[in-house]
């Protein structure tokens, strides 16, 4: 797997001097999230880690002419909008991995990229070295992904980009100027408390590997149900190139008192004060809307932690009875009588059938935790160990 390299200088290029675009020299930028939205990032608290949502944009640059393209550059910057107007929140390019960008698949050549700007929200990539600051040879094609951290506020994230270069070996013959903007919707936690029941993010193996609903990464009285998906570090997606280091993660929670509740939540467990709840965890290949889904390999399982606050648990309910009330379904509708069993030496997850086990198997699968915000309250946590994604869990 090739990673893009950081270079120590930022090239200054005047895009206004370029002449009309040559259609055989092409640059495109598209979002890699389906649907095209990303959850807002969340600040760290005394109880939990921060959550950094990631938007992802795929850049494709190709030279289909017989001429060398010199001094070729791709530049991009981000802007955050609220109600159609720019706001002060920023969306920096993500450089916590091996570089600011990650290749979709290994190529013979990689652009040299550098992140700049006061808020790290500007990017410049040069295609090839060469004495004139970047050479795109005939037949060259570069495909790479740019990661952007979602802001903590806003409605829309814009990626504004430019591409261009000069044909031939001379200093003139400017050509190929291309300019565009790609927008990604931001999931705002203030609107309908969506962050408490929905989260979506691009997930690169070198950065975040845990995605969760809720603000505090834990159940509270204000957010009594929380789902946390831990992908581990060795996740892959069947059908992808083996070295592809990313997936897309979505968690959706539904209850019988939500808007347009699904019919399979019409019958409730009395220990949950007659509130039925369902969580769907989807880890998939974002290259296609119907792409292959995540599957644990070589002992790398998907761990889904489910937390409930005591405010929604009926008094007198025991933790053991509560743990026996979780059900699974492969289609999200036909739950039937499929309680999730506890894992054991002879019972481990298989495709479509999970079991209850903590990530540390020496610890109990279901535990009671104190609520640090209220002495008399508590949280019940159960962990589901799954072989594959697409698991629907109901309580």
Whole-number average pLDDT of the chain: 76
Rg from Cα positions in the chain = 24
Q: What confidence tens digit (pLDDT) does each residue in 164-183 have?
A: 887 765 555 567 788 999 99
Q: CA torsion 381→382→386→389, rounded to 10°?
A: -50
Neighbours of 194 (CB within 10 A): 15
Query: Domain-by-domain residue ranges, the chain?
Result: 5-9+17-187, 194-394
Kind of pairing between the strands at 112-116 and 5-6? parallel
Question: Which neighbouring-strand residues pair with 183?
Answer: 158
pLDDT digits (tens, 9 = 90+) for 278-296: 787 777 665 554 444 555 5
pLDDT in 10s for each residue of the chain, 395 residues? 333 333 333 333 333 333 445 667 788 999 988 889 898 887 766 555 677 888 989 898 888 888 888 888 899 999 999 988 989 899 999 876 555 666 665 555 668 888 887 789 999 888 876 555 677 888 888 888 888 999 988 999 999 999 988 776 555 556 778 899 999 999 865 555 577 788 888 877 655 567 888 766 678 888 888 888 887 655 555 444 545 566 777 787 877 777 777 777 776 666 666 677 778 777 766 555 444 455 555 566 888 888 888 888 888 888 988 888 888 877 777 777 778 899 998 998 887 788 999 988 899 999 998 887 777 888 899 999 887 666 677 77
DSSP output for 141-207: EEEEEEEEE--SS-SEEEEEEEEEEEESSSS--EEEEEEEEEEEEEE-TTSTTGGGTEEEEEEETTS
Name the fold adopted by 5-9+17-187. Immunoglobulin-like (2.60.40)
Of 120, 163, 118, whose CA–CA distance to 144 is shortest? Answer: 163
Alpha-carbon dihedral angle through residues 379, 385, 390, 392, given to the nearest 10 degrees:
-40
Show Cβ contacts of residue 344 under 8 Å, excluding neighbours closer than 6 positions. Answer: none
Rounded to 5 degrees, φ, ψ at 195 are: -65, -20
């Amino acid at each position: 797997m090739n990673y893009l390299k950081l270079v120590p200088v930022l090239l200054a290029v005047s895009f206004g001097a370029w002449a009309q675009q040559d259609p055989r020299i092409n640059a495109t930028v598209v979002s890699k999230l389906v649907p095209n939205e990303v959850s807002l990032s969340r600040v760290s608290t005394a109880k939990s880690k921060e959550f950094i949502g990631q938007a992802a944009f795929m850049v494709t640059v190709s030279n289909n002419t017989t001429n060398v393209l010199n001094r070729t550059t791709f530049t991009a910057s981000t802007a955050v909008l609220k109600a159609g107007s720019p706001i002060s929140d920023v969306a920096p390019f993500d450089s916590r991995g091996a570089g600011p960008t990650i290749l979709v698949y290994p190529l013979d050549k990689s652009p040299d990229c550098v992140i700049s700007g006061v808020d790290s929200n500007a990017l410049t990539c040069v295609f090839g070295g060469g004495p004139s600051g970047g050479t795109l040879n005939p037949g060259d094609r570069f495909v790479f992904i740019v990661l952007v951290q979602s802001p903590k506020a806003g409605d829309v994230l814009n990626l504004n980009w430019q591409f261009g270069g000069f044909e031939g070996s001379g200093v003139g013959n400017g050509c190929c100027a291309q300019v565009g903007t790609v927008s990604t919707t931001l999931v705002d936690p203030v609107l309908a408390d969506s962050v408490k029941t929905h989260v979506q993010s691009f997930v690169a193996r070198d950065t975040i590997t845990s995605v969760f609903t809720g603000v505090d990464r834990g159940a509270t009285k204000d957010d009594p149900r929380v789902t946390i998906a831990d992908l581990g570090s060795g996740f892959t997606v069947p059908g992808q190139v083996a070295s592809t280091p990313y997936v897309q993660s979505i968690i959706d929670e539904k209850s019988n008192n939500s808007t347009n509740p699904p019919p399979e939540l019409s019958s409730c467990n009395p220990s949950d004060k007659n509130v039925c709840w369902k969580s769907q965890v989807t880890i998939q290949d974002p290259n296609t809307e119907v792409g292959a889904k995540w599957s644990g390999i070589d002992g790398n399982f998907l761990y889904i932690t489910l937390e409930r606050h005591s405010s929604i648990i009926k008094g007198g309910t025991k933790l053991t009875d509560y743990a026996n009330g979780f059900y699974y379904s492969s289609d999200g509708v036909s739950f039937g009588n499929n309680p999730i069993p506890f894992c054991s030496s002879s019972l481990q997850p298989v495709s479509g059938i999970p079991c209850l086990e903590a990530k540390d198997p020496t610890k109990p699968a279901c535990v009671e935790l104190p609520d640090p915000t209220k002495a008399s309250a508590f949280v019940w946590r159960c962990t589901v160990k799954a072989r594959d994604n697409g698991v629907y869990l109901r309580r």
